[in-house]
Amino acid sequence: MTGHLALTSVPRLAPHRRLRRDEQRGLWTVQAPERYFILDDTAHAILSRCDGKDSVAVIIESLCSSFPDAPRDTIAADVIHLLQGLADKGVIAA
């Protein structure tokens, strides 16, 4: 179903997956059929940039400008790892 994510892939939330702020618990979540995912700050920073317009490479660029203290290689590795995991779970499509 989901192949390997490339730098040129353009990720977006899969249909009927919703990025939601859970005000009660002070968390960001993704709601999906019969499951939900709690996002940490890193996951939220990445997933909130998956708008179906920007490629993985552009998302990495954007994160590098927002977090200038973090090494680019670390950011790139985190982004690929997280998005591939979410693609495997059906949370994002690319």
Partner 1 sequence: MIPDPPLAVLAELTHRCPLQCPYCSNPLELERAAGEMTTNEWRDAIRQAGALGCLQIHFSGGEPTVRPDLEILVAEAVATGLYTNLITSGVLCDRARLERLASAGLEHVQLSFQGATSDIGDRIGGHVGGHEKKLLFARHVRETGLPLTANFVVHRQNLHQLDAMIEMAVEIGAERAEIANVQYYGWALQNRAALMPSRAQLDIMIAQVSAARERLKGVMAIDFVTPDYYARRPKACMGGWGRRFLNISPSGKVLPCHAAESITTLAFDDVRERPLADIWLHSPAFQAFRGTDWMPEPCRACDRKEIDWGGCRCQAFAISGDAAQTDPACALSKDHDRLVSTATEEAHSGGDGFVYRNFRSAKLAPTL
- Applying CB under 8 A, the residues found at the interface with partner 1 are 1-2, 15-16, 18, 20, 22, 24-25, 29, 31-34, 36, 88, 90
CB of 12 or CB of 78, closer to partner 1: 12
Nearer to partner 1, 23 or 73 (CB): 23
> In Å, how far are 24, 56, 70, 73 from 12, measured between CA atoms?
26, 10, 24, 23
Tell how far CA 40 is from the center of its chain. 11
Q: Name the minimum Å distance from CB 83 to partner 1.
A: 16
| Nearest distance in Å: CB 87, partner 1 | 10
Name residues whose C-beta falls within 8 Å of residue 78's C-beta, 6 or more positions apart in sequence. 42, 46
